[in-house]
Structure 1
Amino acid sequence: MARLSSRADVPPVLAVRDLSVRFGGFQALKAMSWSVAAGRILGIIGPNGAGKSTCFMAATNMVSHGGRIRLAGTDVTDKPAHALPRAGLRRTFQQNAFFGGMSVLENMAAALMESRPSPLAQSVFLPWIEARRCRAIEAQARAHLMAYHVPESAYERLPGELSYGTQRMLSIALAAAPGARVVLLDEPAAGLGGPDMIALRSVLERMRDDGLAVVLIEHHMDLVMAIADEVVVLELGQLIAAGRPAEIQADPRVLEAYLGRAA
C-alpha cells in the first residue's frame, strides 16, 4: 500500500495511519495512511464516491473508524470530535456554516475568543481589562478577515447576505483563526470562478507561508496541481497513488482512475 510523508526531515503535524471506515457491509475506507507537515499543502483527489469526505470525517473523529490519528505528536484517536478544534485541528465543509444571526465581524471575533478564553473573574471584577481585550480582539478580527480576502464592506453584514465567494473566504478565515495547526478544506473552490479562484489561491499560499498544515479535497485539478506540495489519490476507499503533483499527473493508475475520466 502506498504511504506518504510530507518530508523526511520534518515531523508531520497531522498523521493518520491505517484509517478504515465501514458503514454496515460497505467498506468506505480501507487502511489509508498519509501525513502533512507545517507549511505544506496536501491535496486529496479521486472520483466521486472515492471516500474523500469520509476520510475527513474519520480524521476528525466525526465517524467511527479503525486506525490511529496523531496531532503534533499526540495520539488523538480517542478524543471527541468537538475537542479537536481547540487542539488545533480545524476543518471547513462543502456547505458553509456560520452563526447566522451574528455579523461577519462578530463571527470572526467569536472564533478568536474561542482560542483565547477570558477568565471569569477578570470579566466580572475587572471590566476595563475585559473591554480592552475585546477591542484588541476586534482589531485582530478585522486584520485577519482582510488577510483572507473578506472585504471591510462585509464586516457588519450577516454571512448569509454575502456573495458565495466571500462566504467561502469567511469559512476558511474562521477555520484558520489563531490556534489552528492543521486546516482541512473540503472542496473550497466549488462554485468559484474568476477573481474568487485567484483569491482562493492567494489564501492557500498565505496559509502555507504562515506555517499551517493544509489538507485540501478538491475537484479543480489545475488548482491542486499548482498549489499542492504532495497529492494522494483515492479510489473506492483506498489510496492508490501518492507523490508530488508531477508524479501524480504521470501515474497511469491515476490517469485511469480519475484524470483520464475527467478528460
Structure 2
Amino acid sequence: MSGVTGPVLRVEALGVSYGALVALDDVTWSVREGEILGIIGPNGAGKSSCYDAVTHLVRRRGQVFLNGEEVTDIAPHLLAERGLKRAFQQNAFFHEMTVLENMITVLQDRYGTGLVATTLLPFAEARRRRDAVEDARQRLMRFGIPEAYHGLKPTNIPYGTQRMLSIALAYGSGAKALLLDEPAAGLGGKDMTHLIDLLISLKQERLALVVIEHHMDLIMSVADKIVVLEQGRLLATGTPQQIQSDPRVLEAYLGRAQ
C-alpha cells in the first residue's frame, strides 16, 4: 500500500503572463495517485501554459506541490528526477537512434555508470547493459510498441506507435505524476483504443495522470475529474457527468464542439 494520502500533484493559484497578456490566472487543481485529471478548454484557454507553469518552463505565479512538498522553485530537470514527468504535443525522440536505443537512453538514470566502472569492471558493465536492454524491451512492449519496431528509427514506425513511444520516453524509468498534452492527437480506430487501454492501465498502477485533450469522448470516458479552462481562468471542476451538464461549460466549450 502507498503511504501517499493527499494529492500527488497540487497546484495553487498558478498564473502566467507574457507582457500584458495574461495566459493563466489563479488556477488551482490537484490529482491523486490512481486518478486521471482531464484538462479541457477552447484553443487559447491556457492549457499548455498551465503545463509550462507546473513544470517550471516559464516564469509564473503560484505554488506547486509534489507529494506534499513544495517544488515551486525546483528546476525543470530536477522536477523530472523527483517524478514529475511530461509528454509534449509533438512526438519527441532521438531521430538517429533506434526505438530500443531511445528507450535505453532515458533509462540511464537507472543503468548509467561512470568511466571508471566501465574500465575496471567490464563484465559487470556488460551485464548491466544486458539488463538495460531487456528492461527497455519490456517497457516498450508494456507501452504497446511491438518488438518488430524496436530496431527501427522512430520516423519509420506508424504514427500511432510514435505517440506511444513519446509517452513511454516521457515516463522513462518511472513517474509519480505524468502530464500528457493531447496524446490522442491524430489517432483513431485501434490506436485510440490502445491509448485508452494504456491510460487505464497506468491509472491501475497508481500513477497520477493529468491529460490535456480535445477528444471529448476519450477524456469523458477515462477521467475521474475534469478541469475546464477558459481565457486562462478556471471555469469549472467536477466529474465528467457534472461537467457535461454544467451550462457554463456547454456554453463556453462543449456546445461549440457540437
Coarse TM-score class (shorter-chain normalised): over 0.9
1:111 and 1:75 map into 2 onto residues whose CA distance is 26
**Residue-by-residue CA offset, 1:134-162 (whole Å, 9 max, x unaligned):** 11111111111111111111100011111
CA distance in 2, matches of 1:54, 1:142: 34
C-alpha deviation, 1:119, in angstroms: 4.8
Q: Quote the Cα distance in structure 2 between the aligned partners of 1:46 and 1:74.
A: 29
Question: When the two structures are superposed, what TM-score results if normalisation uses the length of structure 1?
Answer: 0.94
Is 1:79 the counterpart of 2:74? The answer is yes
2:198 maps to 1:200: no
Q: 2:43 matched to 1:34?
A: no
Give structure 2 stretches of 5+ with no counterpart: none
Q: Distance in 2 between matches of 1:92 and 1:114?
A: 18
Deviation at 1:93, TM superposition (A): 0.9
**Alignment partner, residue 70 of structure 1:** 65
Residue among 216, 221, 244 paired with 2:216: 221
**Corresponding residue number in structure 2 for 1:4:** none
Return the alpha-carbon distance in structure 2 between the equivalents of residues 39 and 111 of structure 1.
24
Query: How far off its partner does 1:178 sit?
Result: 2.4
Paired residue for 2:121, among 105, 121, 126? 126
1:10 shift after superposition: 3.5
Three-state SS of the structure 1 residue aligned to 2:64 is strand
Q: Look up the match of 2:130.
A: 135
Q: What one-letter code is carried by the residue in structure 1 that aligns with 2:37?
A: L
Question: In 2, distance between residues paired with 1:91 and 1:114?
Answer: 17
Q: Segments of 4+ in structure 1 off by > 6 A?
A: none
**Does residue 259 of the first structure (1) align with residue 254 of the second (2)?**
yes
Residue 217 of structure 1 and its aligned partner are, at CA, apart by 0.2
* TM-score of the pair, normalised by structure 2: 0.96
Read off the aligned partner of 1:171 and give its amino acid letter.
S
Corresponding letter in the other structure for 1:194: G
Letter in 2 for 1:76: V
3-state SS of 1:33 partner? strand
Deviations 1:184-211 (A, max 9, x none): 0000000000000000001101111111
Aligned-pair CA distance for 1:82? 2.1
SS at match of 2:151: coil
- Choose the corresponding residue for 2:166, options 171, 176, 179: 171
Offset at residue 90 of structure 1 (A):
0.8
CA shift digits 1:107-146 (9 cap, x unpaired): 1111112344435542231111111111111111111111
Distance 2:111 2:207 in 1: 18
CA displacement at 1:24 relative to structure 2 = 0.5
How far has the Cα of 1:212 moved from its partner? 1.0
- Alignment length, in residue pairs? 255
Q: How far apart are residue 48 of structure 1 and its match? A: 0.5
Which amino acid in the other structure matches residue 198 of structure 1?
T
Q: Aligned equivalents of 1:167 and 1:86: distance in 2?
A: 24
What is the match of residue 51 of structure 2?
56
Q: Is the 8 A contact 2:111 2:132 kept in 1?
A: no
**Does 1:114 find its partner at 2:109?**
yes
Q: Residue 95 of structure 2 aligns with which residue?
A: 100
The 8 Å contact of residues 86 and 179 in structure 1, kept in 2 or not, is answered as no
Report if the CA contact (8 A) 1:86-1:115 is conserved.
no
Q: Is 1:232 the counterpart of 2:227 in the alignment? A: yes
Structure 1 pair 100–82 and aligned structure 2 pair: CA distance change class (3 A): same
Residues 179, 149 of structure 1: CA spacing in aligned structure 2 closer, same or farther, 3 A cutoff? closer
Whether contact under 8 Å (2:36, 2:211) holds in the other structure is yes
| CA distance, structure 1, for counterparts of residue 111 and residue 36 of structure 2 | 26
Q: Which runs of 5+ in 1 are unaligned?
A: 1-8
Correspondent of 1:250 among 241, 245, 252: 245
3-state SS in 1 of match to 2:236: strand
